[in-house]
Structure 1
Amino acid sequence: MTSDVLLPFNWQSNQWEWLVSRYRQGRMPHAVLMSGPEFVGKENLALALAQKILCVTPELEAGDSCGRCKGCLLSAAGNHPDLVLIKPEVDGKAIKISRIRELASFVFQSAQQGGWRIIIVNPVEKMSGDAKVALLKILEEPRGKTVFVILSHELGRVPATIVSRCHKITLPIPPENVVLSWLHHSSNDKNKIKKALELANGRPLLAEHYLTGSLLSQHEEFNGVLDDLWNGQVSPLEAAQKCHQKAALGLMDWYRFRVYSMAKERSDGAVAQELFFFYDKLNKARNW
């Protein structure tokens, strides 16, 4: 095999084996809904499955794609004509109905490589209301040798009508020991790895992002700003201006982590309880 083989992460082995088994048996569901927290590798698993299905000379014994054929090379490069990945055009924005209308014409065409067609939607809850209705209509008319892989970070926000038409696969946060071992490819500092995983709330790909980027140092600077605010060395406005320059990805999580840590450290039960109540409110605000 070569570096062009897309493989699932080691914590996804059970889900991968089930999907490959169904494909080999000719019983591949026409729609699969993969749900779980963000940053656990759902898109990676979906792309590995797509490459496996689109591979024309699979490594049958290993259950993996070959990484050498035209299908594998096009999949790895993101250029396969029979693979469509639908995501928000801009982070945080909705997936527009125009993308789903384009998808409808794609589904009813013949596969350009003469085999399967794979559609990955990531994440489904980012679709506009009209787009979800349009997707449901396509799912209601399954086509031969076409697989939808629909990803969701928040299953509770996915319409029941879409959920009911998919085979559901859950991808939870992996065991801590598995992730800690995996993260050693990003750092040899055990304390740094543990801190990153703690801040990422157990999510492996976010922890990797902490280790390979500047988020850890930004988190330390954020804590310094809060300390200065607590000690009266900066005003709330100055603190807000300094925090505004930090990565938006981490701010709410860092604040939640700070409040949670304070609550655990308090010996005063009443104060700790108030902090935990506030922590719950932050969680709700984050998921709004």
Structure 2
Amino acid sequence: MLDLRPITDIHADLLVVGGGAAGMAAAVTAARRGLKVILLERYGFCGGGAVAGLSGTVCGLFEAHQSDTAPPKRLVFGFVDEFIERMNAKNGLTPPVRYGKTFTLVHDPLVWRGVADDLLRDAGVHVVYHTMVTDVLMDGDERIAGVVAYNKQGKLRVTAEVTIDASGDGDLAAMSGLDTFMGVDGVVQNPTMMFRIQGVDVQRFLARYGEDSVLGADVSEAIRQSNTSGSYVLPRAKIFLFPTPRPNELLCNCTRIIGRDGRELNPVFAADFTEAEIEGRKQVQEYARFFRDQLTGCENAFVNDTGVQ
């Protein structure tokens, strides 16, 4: 094993690994308090599961309720208020969308990327994109003192007084040997390949199926019958379809990725992750075909995008 390129050394007050919602908020908040902050992100943009995973919604902001007519009631405030304001200024968020017993905001992932860039730049955060952490640097047995990372320039050694693991999977904790747990006795929820479809007559779609993004029992039954007959391969019957800030578009939370051996695949394992990506793309095309054939307003729909992961 050999890499003769010199290692670049950087020191900061705070190192944040991962530019998802939590990592971005932590980095911006700390930098505004005067700390020297470095944020490392493996993709070329921030957003984490919301953008790379295309989850597409800002959830958890509104009160859950039992009434189908109750209006949205915000419960969570703070940094997210500024984020929402900036997203709205660029037409990057929908108004509250009904989501079963609560509400959510559906975002444009491209707008999210730009807003995150602006927030980090304005706060003075040193952002390094396309950089993957490969090792942790320990101070004793319990304090992570920094990381070694890799990008096309070579290795990067970052030390900091405080390190925040915002990787989404507890990568730094796992690398360091600190205590971690995963799922229930190691069993995790199956992966989902999120996707978007365009060419939708959203007005006709909403007039037929209603404002709730959780589609009703009639659609679930049609999916079950189509899957049982062999006309389509549709392993998940309860689906969520969200109008987005873009015209003629729906965000689709539909797929259910089960391994060839019948297991719930675990994306922490490379073989499972690879299998899930391949199977996920197949399922996306099947659900899109079903939507075109069976759902009002989707007759001319086509897949616009799938999650980066």
> Which structure carries more helix by proportion?
1
TM-score (norm 1): 0.29
TM-score (norm 2): 0.28
